[in-house]
A and B are shown apart, each in its own frame.
Chain A
Amino acid sequence: MVADHDDSSIINDRGLTFAEKILSLKSMSNSGPGRNAAAAGDFVISSVDFTYVHDVQGPLVIKIFEELKGEKVFDRNKVLLNIDHDFPPSSERSAELHNRMRNFASSQDCMIQEGSNCHQYILENFATPGMLIIGADSHTTTLGSLGTFAAGMGSSDVASILLTGKTWLRVPETIRIHVDSPLGPGITAKDVALEALRVLGTDGANYKSIEWVGKGVEAMTIDSRSTLTNLALEMGAKNSVVFSDGVTRKFLRGRNREPGMEIRAGDESPVFRDIYIESESLVPMVALPGSPGNAKPVSEIGARIPINAVLVGTCTNGRLEDLRRVAAILKGRHVKQGVRMIVTPNSIEVYKQADREGIISTLLESGATVTSPGCGACAGLSKGLIGKNEVAVFAGPRNFPGRLGSVDSKIYLSSPETAAASAITGFVSSIEEVDHK
């Protein structure tokens, strides 16, 4: 994509945030006072470069699209139907809903995918820097790890996008989270995000754009960056981004994809809030049951918490890097008797590569169960739900009551490392408690 003259002046503007730049470029009209660029607080009508639905919202999107008398989707190459929340189907109802999606994809001649988590599949295959992506799922923010503006919406909004290729957006203010130095050993992007959740809480970034910046972020892989942009949603964010750089370009080159349009915030752009994560001294973090905002260091939990289940996967922590770390900890060790450990690779590609690297057999040898790829129990429908009074450690996105099944269960949110360590000890534990044995 080559920027025209006006585009270049916006892209190079030193006073605009990422969100202001990209929404200026994508807008066809805005409520602001007639300026070239949209500013935080303006409402804009934007064109959408890619949109997708999964098997929970998708059937409702299709129903609304049909009620809107939609005939053809706005651009069949920009629409993906993705079956991941309950695949393979755990019920007749799910099987029926999947068929509605297949029929729609067939009649519209648009793309359909079955098995991989939607966000991961789009990272692997479609997203490029500078795209505006709207998904019918809250964790659409994940795709900002490739320098896109990506936001989640509900079924009606996405049905109207299928119809018109457009949507309205309020240009968000920006929270810039600085991670200025690389992470210590055993500390991951999940710990960084949990620390940010401790600071911001679950609504500290409501309606905002979160930019992750600094040497610590630049040193991260796309897998790690995707954990940051994914969890920004749990802080309330509308979108979250890591600016495209050499790591992004290399990732895209390796997949024969275009470098897209690189957009970064101007160095004089005003932000709503700056947050500095002390990454050098960061320790393993966990969010206590009830809310991702209940984050604190694992070492400060106090009591020993016995657990029934450990789950690793989802659009937050089901990537190859996460599985590699879990396997490295479980190799030669065994999951504690009485604890069930369930690992869900979040895509078919991740599953296949994990198999090639021997990760799957390491996990099985250690006593873990590996499910088919996708969203796992996080969809609340199958693949390892937890029952009344059970306690789980979850390397996933959120731990609101009932997220993994019973509303009378308790979920501790952690990194894959902490989850693996806990599976070995049978208590909520950081990796140090395993290493020292």
Chain B
Amino acid sequence: MKNVRGKCWTFGDDVSTDAILPSKWKTVSFEPSELGKHAMTGIDEKFPEKVSNGDIIVGGLNFGCGSSREQAPIALLGCGIRVVIAKSIARIFFRNCVNVGIYPIEADFPDDFFMDSDEIEVHFDLGVIVNKRTGKGLPFKVIPSFLSTILNSGGLKSFILGGGKYEDLF
């Protein structure tokens, strides 16, 4: 996984998939570009206008809880999100992120570590996030290598289409 740099958008605890992609949009389309127009609108109506390609989502505890709808991470992907950082990430959302090609990062950080629009760098090789505004670093636990293999393929579909098999992962 290549290191990335992007602007972050911060959210609180228990951001559910109903907030990430409200129910009324969950079946209108399955295309990232369409779903991306409604990303995070359950919590911030203006988010799709504000976000730019390569930005990073920062959540609190239990990010992505609730419904298993994969349309939620697809919506984030559709507005250019490639990395989600949170204090904890709900289990199904975590898997869905990997499967659609978003890197999920869990880390312990104080509430004021990230602020909206901070430029941050994620060093996957070192397992460290650096906030360019404050200069502070934050260690995180890198995901198991077999999940990196799926992510580096571009997600589960690309992994399988590329001939990947679960049996080869570990």
Contact = CB atoms under 8 A, between A and B. Distances in A.
Given A59-B30, A156-B96, A400 B144 contact: no
Nearest to A65: B157
A396 to B, nearest CB: 12
Contact of B95 (A64, A69, A154, A291): A154
B33 to A, nearest CB: 15
A152 B153 CA distance: 24
A21 B95 CA distance: 23
B23 interface: yes
Interface stretch (A202-210, A275-283, A356-364): A202-210
B90 interface: yes
A93 B27 CA distance: 8
A58 to B, nearest CB: 10
Nearest to A172: B91
B160 interface: yes
A402 B23 contact: yes
Contacts of B70: 57, 60, 154-156
A272 interface: no
A67 B155 CA distance: 13
A160 B22 contact: no
Interface string B120-161: 000000000000000000000000101000000001110011
Contacts of B14: 202-203, 290-291, 293, 400
Interface stretch (A2-10, A107-115, A161-169, A220-228): A161-169
Interface in A182-241: 202-203, 206-207, 236, 238
B99 A157 contact: yes
A71 to B, nearest CB: 14
B10 interface: no
B19 interface: yes
Interface residues of B, number: 42
Contacts of B96: 154-157
A160 B100 CA distance: 13
Contact of A401 (B26, B42, B156): B42
A203 B90 contact: yes
Contacts of A138: 66-68, 92
A45 interface: yes
B162 to A, nearest CB: 11
Interface string A367-381: 000000000000111
A29 interface: yes
Given A68-B161, A154-B70, A236 B62 contact: yes
Given A86-B27, A160-B160, A203-B14, 11 more contacts: A56-B71, A138-B66, A154-B96, A156-B100, A163-B160, A202-B62, A398-B16, A400-B18, A401-B43, A402-B23, A407-B42
Interface of B: 14, 16, 18-19, 22-24, 26-28, 30, 42-43, 61-62, 65-71, 73, 88, 90-92, 95-96, 99-100, 144, 146, 155-157, 160-161, 166-167, 169-170
19 contacts: A31-B170, A56-B27, A56-B69, A86-B27, A93-B28, A154-B70, A154-B95, A157-B156, A159-B157, A168-B146, A168-B169, A202-B65, A203-B14, A206-B90, A380-B18, A380-B26, A400-B65, A400-B66, A401-B19
